[in-house]
Amino acid sequence: MKKDTGHSLPAPELPHCRTAEKRVKRRIYRLSTDVLTSFIIFTESGISMLVKDLLARHKTTFSFEFFPPREDAGADRLIATIANLMPLAPSYVSVTYGAGGTTRHRTHDLVVRIKKETDIPVVSHLTCVGSSKQEMHGILEKYREAGICNILALRGDPPKGMTDFVQPEDGFDHAADLVAYIKKHFPEMCVGVAGFPEGHPATPNRLQEIDYLKAKVDAGADFIVTQLFFDNRDFYDYCERCELAGIQVPNIAGIMPVTTRNGLIRTAELAGGAHIPARLLKAVSRAENDEYVEKVGIHWATEQIRDLLDHDVRGVQFFTLNCSTATQEIYKSLGVSNSRQLRN
């Protein structure tokens, strides 16, 4: 790993990055004047907006991941989806980048909008792809000014048409370098990184893969969000290997319910050869159509989460694919109306 040699800049005191405005009252938010949807959030006095503090406060956290639409027309639909999911009381929400950083500006706009219009903590993905250190510093400065204080630091996928990651000129080669840079120049920020229960496709050596994860944690990572998995045994084995390597920060399990046959195939491609258990494949193949595939996927994900809770998982992140139905149905199947009934 390369050692960052940049000069440190003084970090201003930003109390709003650490603690939400102190108040206890019911607030109703309308996320868009174009979407007639509203929801209610209860804000507790002095609640920290940092994910690491949420993890310390709750036995298990629950979060929802979204991706920014590529076109403006999809923005209102996404806002409606976010509004529909807020009654489930997630601990925080997360917003991704597109491959090669293609949705960077949309990610920033969505993250800032969520921050401004709700009290929900938000995590912004940030990748090493296509940005110099100076450009990355500017992005982080904008987040600091907007009060965005949670970052998921990733190396990132290569741009479309490329198969291998290429280090940007005067940029970062590894996620660990980005983590170290953020912690040096923006020490008030909370930084998460990615973990891979089934292994990273670019690192066949599983021992080396855990070494890379340990390097990210040693650089200052506060928590880990894992790639999706369909077999909890892979996650438990991965957690044991983390423990053996001395990785002690919380691992948040990434769960994505299958909703269509094509979606399952696409998932296997995007997740770098995800392990899809034969039992799940059989259940999907029996389904009459995608309506029933979704029911299969919801049942499978519900049982995964039920088992994870029995094993005291530190967090569950739902990869929503910008849809609310599957996540809502999983909560119903778990017998609860919101996350508060699960996380204490």
What residues are labeled active site? 65
Which residues sit opposite 152 in a β-bridge?
125, 192
Residue 278 backbone phi and psi in degrees, to 5: -60, -40
Retrieve residue 232's tokens: 């909890």
Q: Which amino acid is at 37?
A: T
C-beta pairs of 300-308 under 8 Å, 24+ apart in sequence = 300/230, 300/257, 300/258, 301/255, 301/256, 301/257, 301/258, 301/326, 301/330, 302/330, 302/333, 302/334, 304/230, 304/232, 304/255, 305/255, 305/330, 305/334, 306/334, 307/232, 308/232, 308/235, 308/253, 308/255
110, 82 contact by CB (below 8 A): no
Task: Supply the DSSP string of 3-69, one letter for each residue.
Answer: PP-PPP-PPPP-HHHHS-----EEEEEES-SSS--EEEEEE-TT----HHHHHHH-SSEEEEEE---
For CA atoms 235, 121, 102, 165, the dihedral sign is: negative
**Residue 190 and residue 186: Cα distance in Å, rounded?**
9
Return the structure tokens found at 272. 């770098």
Q: What CA–CA distance (Å, rounded) separates 164 from 146?
A: 33
The 10 Å Cβ neighbour count of residue 202 is: 12
Query: Maximum CA pair distance of the chain?
Result: 60
d(CA 234, CA 238): 6
Tokens matching residue 158: 């290569």
